[in-house]
Amino acid sequence: MADYDRRPYDRPRGGGRKRRYRDDDDDDHRPQRRRYEEPLVVQVRRQLLTLAESAARRVEDDVQGIAKTVVDNYDDEELRETFTNISIDLVLEQPMKIPFVATTVLCAHDLKPELGTEVINKAGDALQKYIGSGSWREVKLLLRFLGVLQPAFEGEGIFPLLEELFSRAVDLQTASSEDLLGLELVKIILFTIPFVMLSPASGFDSQASALLEKTDVIASTPHPLVDLVNTFGPEDNQSPAGQSVISLLQTQLQGEASRGWELTCLPRPWKHLRDDETGEPRLLENVPKIAFPHVTVPNPVKNGARTLFPEVYLSVYADQEVDTVPSPSDIASSLLRDALVDTINLLSFNRVATAKFLIDVDCYFPPHIFVKRATPFDRMRELAPEDRAWKPEDVAVDAVFSQLFQLPAPEHKLVYYHSLLTECCKIAPAAIAPSLGRAIRFLYSSVETMDLELTYRFLDWFAHHLSNFGFTWKWSEWVDDLDLPIVHPKMAFIHGALDKEIRLSFAQRIKGTLPKAYQSLISEGKEKDTPEFKYLAEMTPYSKEGQEIMQLIRKKASDEEIQPIIVSIEEQAKDLGVEDPKVPSTDALVTSICFVGSKSLSHVLSCIERNKERLLFIGQESPRARCQIITSVMEYWTDQPGIAINIVDKLLNYTILSPLSVLEWALSESMEAGTILAKTHIFEIITATVGKVTNRMRQIVAARTQPTLYEPQLSVLDETLSRERSDMQALFKFIEDSIVSVAAGSNDEQMERGDGSGDLPEDAIIRQWGRRWLRVFRRKAAVEDSFITDALANATAVGTVAPPSAESDMPDAPADAGADGDLDVADA
């Protein structure tokens, strides 16, 4: 029996749980598994990384435990370094943990000032580095960390540095009223103050008030660009948005100062520390004092890689009968949002971990500010006023939406924020899904007034999100809106969303998810895989020739074989008095290509490839015929605009179409009295086309501003840049000129509609579309223009010749940077 008992320990275990590979063979008899003793450094590392993550543990115990372990083993250099490095890494990557990490460091500092000094100096070095490189978010986070450590500093601690940053801000603001870097510095100062005042240190009220008094002028003056990035247009300004983050924060801080810095929304982990031996409360106010790390602020300061824009505060939960998120008058709205947004943007490389942090938001703030997770909205209504608290899911989701709807662009690709919301929904469906539902209702109710670009982002997210959750949505609640005119923004949204859903799935599937009233929106044509070829109908002009061309393209016939039929169409057209005979012949050719290539994108691409020369020639010969290429594609795929957009995009890459021709097609040929502006896929195609041009422009700017670029390449690139820049400006001017008349109601076609009074109910809607389009493209033009101007401000001047040493060091350096000044659009 004893033998039997021992058996499992003699043999290698593992029982096939893990596959074994040849690597294992050299050591056939694996030693028995011993009880694994975690090395101290691994243990501390894990404890520190997961600090405050568990609601089941008292964070105060961990804070004290970690500090004590590291102090007790102060001679262990690896342990000390791990503690220092991870503390600072956490500050820079998981900002919600800063108060907890800082408390741990304060505890350690209290027990062993050498250890605290080491961490503080390391933080000072990092701060110096990031101030130098203009990485302002990192600066903000390190200042927050050092702000909580205020009791460890002699004299005024962090304040002299804040004062110095403020004086830089003043210089920048004085130099230019459009300055944004100075505003950013003030924002950083404002976001630091509450943490200093929160810290165990006391007696700094006068310094804080003095600073706040000074920042007031800068923070409260609206920046000229705020209107450009506002969630809502100027005419439709609504309460939930419009205030800039910085002016809001200034007001909130002043309120907080007048209430003696209650700061009820922030955690104070040091409040509940107890001495291990005596059990007495342990106060960290009187820890040993050291000098604040020496940091030089360059003069003038510079901005890092991220372009700055004013930020406005947006909440999708602002208009509810019961508050589920802090109101903009409460400082919690800014402090919670800031910590969450930084977490979201810093951890973009792991959406699963980020989603977990968002769901666990209530672990990192005082417990009383939130209701229990997944508390239904209806129950929140019943809460007694003294039990009122915020809904953690709403606060978290709101922060993601604030990024998804950030203008002019969020830090990461939009799809990151989509995937983050999907992940949140996967981790805690019962808690998150209802929050998203309420957000969707708010956004849907705002589709008439919200910035058009944001409406489009909403639509794109909505369809993508549903595609991850079985396309289930309570469509029935919008049923009444189906009676609205087709150009109404709500109808445009519904049509656009369904089209996007179909693109990610297929028409029949989506039809199955819709209530009866919506069925007619999915036309028969949408359910067809291959749209009809119009030349098969004898009624169609040139039907015989159209069919012949189609057959030839299908047979992959040569250009010479196609040519006679093209000529035949053009001759007939001439006889019929068609103004440009190339138009009907192009229609037949392109429609045939679409039909033969209708099986898939690769099919149509190879058809285009085979007929590329002919298509290129059309564009050079006749602008009208070039326009017809787009018309034919859009008409053939009229029921599946996604495919048409894709094909047009590829035609642009082949330079068969020019960006301007796409704009001309949409905004002059097909304007249809402005009604085209209500179609979401038209907005999509124009945005994509403009995006192609601006992307290319940015690549040229990047090439032009390389620090190692010298003559003669410098001049070549500079010329390319000026040429392309004016092309781009011409493009924006064309959009402006085409739409401005629609917005004003003076478009010719518009005037001819109805009785010409411009009083048809739809006329007002169309004028509104015009204004919304203008706003979007004026913003894009301004953003691109300022990007180029800023980049060129620091670029090497034309005429600069390589210094002799550099020339001998790297003779080929500029050559691989597209020195011929021409980048292939297809590769752009």
Rounded to a whole number of angstroms, the minimum distance from the CB of residue 304 to another protein is 9
User: In whole angstroms, what is the distance from residue 263 CA to residue 198 CA?
Assistant: 7
Regarding 37 and contact with another protein (CB under 8 A), the answer is no
Regarding 378 and contact with another protein (CB under 8 A), the answer is no
- By rule CB under 8 A, what string of x and - marks binding of each residue 486-505 to another protein? -----------------xxx
Regarding 827 and contact with another protein (CB under 8 A), the answer is yes
Residue 50 or 722 with smaller CB distance to another protein: 50
Query: Around Cβ 154, how many Cβ atoms within 10 Å?
Result: 10
Residues 615/553, Cβ–Cβ less than 8 Å: no
End-to-end CA distance of the chain: 75
Residue 409 or 601 with smaller CB distance to another protein: 601
Regarding 277 and contact with another protein (CB under 8 A), the answer is no
Which residue pairs from 690-696 have beta carbons closer than 8 angstroms and sit at least 24 positions apart in sequence? 690/659, 690/731, 690/732, 690/735, 690/777, 690/780, 692/649, 692/652, 692/659, 692/825, 692/828, 693/659, 693/727, 693/728, 693/731, 694/728, 694/780, 694/784, 695/828, 696/724, 696/823, 696/825, 696/828
Residues 216/223, Cβ–Cβ less than 8 Å: no
192's tokens: 């630091």
Residue 192 or 419 with smaller CB distance to another protein: 419
| SS3 state of residue 221 | coil
677's tokens: 């502006």
CA distances 565 to 556, 573, 575, 578, 617, Å, are 15, 12, 15, 17, 16
120's tokens: 């503080």
Rounded to a whole number of angstroms, the minimum distance from the CB of residue 522 to another protein is 17
User: In whole angstroms, what is the distance from residue 533 CA to residue 526 CA?
Assistant: 15
User: In whole angstroms, what is the distance from residue 392 CA to residue 756 CA?
Assistant: 54
Residues 240-259 that bind another protein (CB under 8 A): none
User: In whole angstroms, what is the distance from residue 26 CA to residue 249 CA?
Assistant: 65
Residue type, 322: V
Rounded to a whole number of angstroms, the minimum distance from the CB of residue 634 to another protein is 16
Q: Which residue has the tokens 């057209």?
A: 573
- Residue 619's nearest CA partner among 662, 578, 649 is 662
Residue 454 or 765 with smaller CB distance to another protein: 454
Phi, psi of 281 (to 5 degrees): -60, 140
Relative orientation angle of helices 136-148 and 77-93, to the nearest 10 degrees: 120
Range in contact with another protein (rule: CB under 8 A) among 162-170, 391-399, 418-426, 799-807 = 418-426
Regarding 347 and contact with another protein (CB under 8 A), the answer is yes
Candidates 472, 520, 602, 620: give the one binding another protein (CB under 8 A). Answer: 602
Residue 689 or 738 with smaller CB distance to another protein: 689
Regarding 55 and contact with another protein (CB under 8 A), the answer is no
For residue 276, what are the contacts with CB-CB under 8 A and spacing of at least 6?
64, 68
β partners of residue 370: 390
Range in contact with another protein (rule: CB under 8 A) among 178-186, 189-197, 340-348, 669-677 = 340-348
Candidates 600, 708, 715, 746: give the one binding another protein (CB under 8 A). Answer: 600
Candidates 40, 257, 291, 414: give the one binding another protein (CB under 8 A). Answer: 414
Candidates 57, 65, 73, 89: give the one binding another protein (CB under 8 A). Answer: 89
Regarding 411 and contact with another protein (CB under 8 A), the answer is yes
Rounded to a whole number of angstroms, the minimum distance from the CB of residue 91 to another protein is 10
Candidates 170, 283, 346, 819: give the one binding another protein (CB under 8 A). Answer: 346
Candidates 16, 17, 18, 21: give the one binding another protein (CB under 8 A). Answer: 21
Range in contact with another protein (rule: CB under 8 A) among 18-26, 293-301, 374-382, 385-393 = 18-26
Range in contact with another protein (rule: CB under 8 A) among 143-151, 295-303, 328-336, 342-350 = 342-350
Regarding 94 and contact with another protein (CB under 8 A), the answer is yes
Residue 347 or 735 with smaller CB distance to another protein: 347
Rounded to a whole number of angstroms, the minimum distance from the CB of residue 643 to another protein is 6
Burial bucket for residue 523 (CB in 10 Å: 0-12, 13-18, 19+): exposed
Rounded to a whole number of angstroms, the minimum distance from the CB of residue 357 to another protein is 9
Residues 226/244, Cβ–Cβ less than 8 Å: yes
Rounded to a whole number of angstroms, the minimum distance from the CB of residue 353 to another protein is 4
Range in contact with another protein (rule: CB under 8 A) among 83-91, 162-170, 244-252, 531-539 = 83-91
User: In whole angstroms, what is the distance from residue 48 CA to residue 115 CA?
Assistant: 16
147's tokens: 């702000």
Residue 303 or 505 with smaller CB distance to another protein: 505
Rounded to a whole number of angstroms, the minimum distance from the CB of residue 589 to another protein is 23
Question: In this structure, what DSSP letter does residue 29 have?
Answer: S
Candidates 468, 655, 706, 796: give the one binding another protein (CB under 8 A). Answer: 468
Phi, psi of 469 (to 5 degrees): -130, 45
Candidates 337, 391, 418, 753: give the one binding another protein (CB under 8 A). Answer: 418
746's tokens: 């003076």
Candidates 353, 536, 576, 810: give the one binding another protein (CB under 8 A). Answer: 353
Residue 48 or 197 with smaller CB distance to another protein: 48
Residues 126-145 that bind another protein (CB under 8 A): 130, 135, 138
Candidates 15, 155, 470, 804: give the one binding another protein (CB under 8 A). Answer: 470
Residue 291 or 414 with smaller CB distance to another protein: 414
Residue 159 or 401 with smaller CB distance to another protein: 401
Rounded to a whole number of angstroms, the minimum distance from the CB of residue 396 to another protein is 17
Candidates 44, 63, 79, 90: give the one binding another protein (CB under 8 A). Answer: 90
Residue 172 or 634 with smaller CB distance to another protein: 634
Regarding 23 and contact with another protein (CB under 8 A), the answer is yes
Regarding 718 and contact with another protein (CB under 8 A), the answer is no
Q: What is the DSSP string of 290-357?
A: BPPPP-PPPSS----SSPP---B---TTTT-SS-SS--TTSHHHHHHHHHHHHHHHHTTT-HHHHHHH
Relative orientation angle of helices 429-445 and 452-467, to the nearest 10 degrees: 150
Burial bucket for residue 295 (CB in 10 Å: 0-12, 13-18, 19+): buried
Burial bucket for residue 346 (CB in 10 Å: 0-12, 13-18, 19+): middle
Candidates 12, 65, 642, 754: give the one binding another protein (CB under 8 A). Answer: 642
# of chain residues touching another protein (CB under 8 A): 46
Regarding 345 and contact with another protein (CB under 8 A), the answer is yes
Rounded to a whole number of angstroms, the minimum distance from the CB of residue 212 to another protein is 30
Residues 99-118 that bind another protein (CB under 8 A): none
Rounded to a whole number of angstroms, the minimum distance from the CB of residue 135 to another protein is 6
Cis peptide before 515 (omega within 30 of 0): no
Interface residues toward another protein, by CB under 8 A: 21-23, 49, 86, 89-90, 92-94, 130, 135, 138, 345-353, 411-416, 418-419, 422, 464, 467-468, 470, 503-506, 600-602, 642-643, 646, 827
